């Protein structure tokens, strides 16, 4: 990637900060509107119900998963680990289709054999996405790694909250207030987790594609008695000939300023 192409892009650290902020704001907004709709409006506004796939926040969840798939595909096209990132993008697209249509909620309506096969396939898909995202986090910079790790933890907690809520509610009700709070917690963790993962993938992609500083010079080489060049010092700075004893300002004036004025430096 050329530096000119990405000069006006936000840095990976800036994208990471935006990712944290957007995830917090979206989760807070979803939680507040869901609780108001459930406890104050008696669930009269279905499009505000966080548990409904066709609600505003249900569609936002699908958009977040699609963004994850898009960033994985772009990373495969522009960077390394192409096969793994393409596989991750495809798996995330399948999850987005499932999230938009609610297919996993209909597994229980299938015949027994088909239900077991569908549940196993869905579990394998989730496991594949988890493994691939974990591998992406291992190779990501620190800021992106924190986002990906937090997103994966949030998604895991969302699954745990759903399992616990289903187990507690078996055979007896848990009350409308507790149910509304549980749904808000589960859906908030789910939505926030996917937004954090999307921000982490975007931050890692920008960090991989663009570095604002030029690559460092290697250490100076000296000739050994055997005639083979070896590094003089792994930390020694290297300068052009005649520039080592000059100040930084004078080196700038003698080396770069004539070039800016259209002149070539005399040999």
Q: Which of 31-45, 118-132, 199-213 has the highest mean pLDDT?
A: 118-132
CA separation (Å) from 123 to 21, 117, 144? 31, 10, 26
Same domain (yes/no): 74, 137: yes
Confidence of residue 195 (pLDDT cuts 50, 70, 90): very high
Query: What is the reported pTM?
Result: 0.72
pLDDT number for residue 255: 47
On average, the pLDDT of the chain sits at 78
Q: Is residue 215 part of a domain?
A: no
Closest CA to 55 of 77, 38, 78: 38
Spatial contact of 219 and 46, defined as CB atoms under 8 Å apart: no
| pLDDT tens column, 151-188 | 999 999 998 888 887 777 655 556 777 788 888 889 89
Predicted pLDDT at 88 = 96
Is the per-residue pLDDT at 258 higher than 70? no
- Checking if the pLDDT of 74 tops 90, the result is yes
Q: Are residues 178 and 246 in the same domain?
A: no
Residues 131 and 18 placed together within one structural domain of the fold: yes
Domain count, the chain: 2
Region of 227 (left: φ > 0; alpha: ψ -120 to 50; beta: rest) is: left
> Residue 132's pLDDT is what?
96
241 and 189 part of one domain: no
pLDDT reported for residue 163: 83
Q: Flag whether 214 is in a domain.
A: no
Residues 190 and 229 placed together within one structural domain of the fold: no
Domain that holds residue 250: 221-260
Instruction: Tell me if 3 is assigned to some domain.
Output: no
Residue 218 has pLDDT above 80, yes or no: no
Name, in order, each residue with C-beta under 8 angstroms of 255's C-beta and a sequence gap of 6 or more.
Answer: 240, 243, 265
Whether the pLDDT of residue 4 is over 50: the answer is no
Q: Give yes or no: residues 135 and 229 share one domain.
A: no
* Inside any domain, residue 43: yes
DSSP code per residue over 229-260: EEES-SS-----TT-TTS-HHHHHHHHTHHHH
Residue 1 lies in a domain: no
pLDDT band (50, 70, 90) for residue 96: very high
Which of 189, 209, 229 lies at the terminal end of a domain, its last residue? 209
Indicate whether 71 belongs to any domain: yes
Residue 266 belongs to some domain of the structure: no
Cα–Cα distance between 208 and 162 in angstroms, integer?
A: 36
Cβ atoms within 10 Å of 222's Cβ, excluding its own: 10
Confidence of residue 3 (pLDDT cuts 50, 70, 90): very low
Distance CA 197, CA 96 (A): 14
Choice among 22-26, 141-145, 214-218 with the minimum mean pLDDT? 214-218
Whether residues 58 and 139 share a domain: the answer is: yes
Residues 252 and 147 in one domain: no
d(CA 122, CA 103): 10
pLDDT of 79 = 76
Q: What's residue 146's pLDDT?
A: 95
């Amino acid at each position: 990637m050329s530096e000119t192409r990405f000069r006006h892009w936000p840095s990976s650290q800036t994208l990471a900060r935006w990712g944290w902020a957007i995830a917090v704001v979206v989760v807070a907004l979803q939680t507040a509107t869901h609780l108001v709709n459930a406890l104050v409006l008696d669930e009269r506004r279905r499009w505000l119900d966080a548990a409904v796939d066709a609600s505003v926040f249900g569609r936002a969840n699908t958009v977040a998963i699609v963004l994850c798939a898009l960033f994985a595909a772009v990373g495969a096209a522009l960077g390394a680990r192409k096969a793994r990132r393409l596989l991750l993008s495809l798996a995330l697209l399948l999850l987005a289709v499932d999230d938009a249509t609610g297919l996993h909620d209909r597994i229980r309506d299938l015949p027994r054999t088909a239900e077991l096969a569908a549940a196993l396939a869905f579990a394998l898909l989730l496991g594949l996405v988890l493994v691939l995202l974990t591998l992406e986090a291992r190779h990501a910079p620190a800021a992106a790694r924190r986002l990906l790790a937090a997103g994966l933890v949030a998604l895991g907690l969302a699954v745990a909250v759903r399992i616990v809520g289903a187990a507690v509610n078996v055979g007896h009700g848990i009350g409308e207030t507790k149910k509304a709070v549980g749904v808000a917690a589960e859906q908030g963790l789910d939505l926030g987790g996917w937004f954090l993962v999307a921000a982490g993938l975007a931050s890692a992609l920008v960090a991989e594609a663009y570095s604002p500083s030029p690559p460092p010079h290697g250490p100076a080489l000296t000739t050994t008695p055997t005639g083979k060049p070896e590094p003089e010092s792994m930390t020694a700075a290297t300068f052009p000939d005649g520039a080592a004893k000059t100040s930084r300002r004078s080196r700038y004036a003698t080396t770069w300023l004539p070039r800016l004025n259209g002149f070539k430096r005399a040999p």
